[in-house]
Chain A
Amino acid sequence: RKEVEQDPGPFNVPEGATVAFNCTYSNSASQSFFWYRQDCRKEPKLLMSVYSSGNEDGRFTAQLNRASQYISLLIRDSKLSDSATYLCVAMDSSYKLIFGSGTRLLVRP
């Protein structure tokens, strides 16, 4: 079993749609959690950190449920420019990042 699991997608949605990605992690000792965005053949870029209380950054909302070991990302009012691969990431106690395989999002006009 992978340490961080994500649905690979692709999620194909129209502009303006709301889309949600989910992710589970297996190491209950994981310290911090993140969502990264990766465009084709580019490096991952930090989208947002994920806090237990939930956090929002514009159209993006992230949630963490430590009891269920579950992380989510909600994107509202999808834009064409949101098309990318979204990587769910857990950081262990030694500051090592454990990545999921990514969920691919395609936003169509």
Chain B
Amino acid sequence: DAGVTQSPTHLIKTRGQHVTLRCSPISGHKSVSWYQQVLGQGPQFIFQYYEKEERGRGNFPDRFSARQFPNYSSELNVNALLLGDSALYLCASSTGLAGGQNEQFFGPGTRLTVL
């Protein structure tokens, strides 16, 4: 079985541009979460989607948006890129079901560099 997949693996953009990152969860998982990880820090929560509905949003500006598709894949969009948006963007997949530990499994990430 394939794990969580993300594309692209690396991306270089300039300030002010827009970027779209993509994620496909583990087969059977209905929840996708997005995290941003800057060097030397733990990942920071951006969004969570379950059954195509936003279930949570972290403390990120409105330049960040996301959506989940009927096949449970997801996109993260970032507008008007800033230098500080340079980071590893991680997608995590989980069943999303209430109860239980609800472990989240991460994809390999997209490394975004903003110049």
Contact = CB atoms under 8 A, between A and B. Distances in A.
Interface string A87-107: 101010011111111100000
A24 B65 CA distance: 31
B90 interface: yes
A32 B33 contact: no
Contact of A94 (B56, B105, B107): B56
Contact of A95 (B40, B55, B88): B55
B103 A49 contact: yes
A97 B43 CA distance: 9
B34 to A, nearest CB: 11
Chain A contact surface mostly: strand
Contact of A42 (B35, B55, B108): B108
Nearest to B92: A97
B31 interface: yes
A57 interface: no
Interface of B: 31, 33, 35, 40-45, 48, 55-56, 58, 88, 90, 92, 94, 96, 101-109, 111
Interface of A: 4, 32, 34, 41-46, 49, 87, 89, 91, 94-102
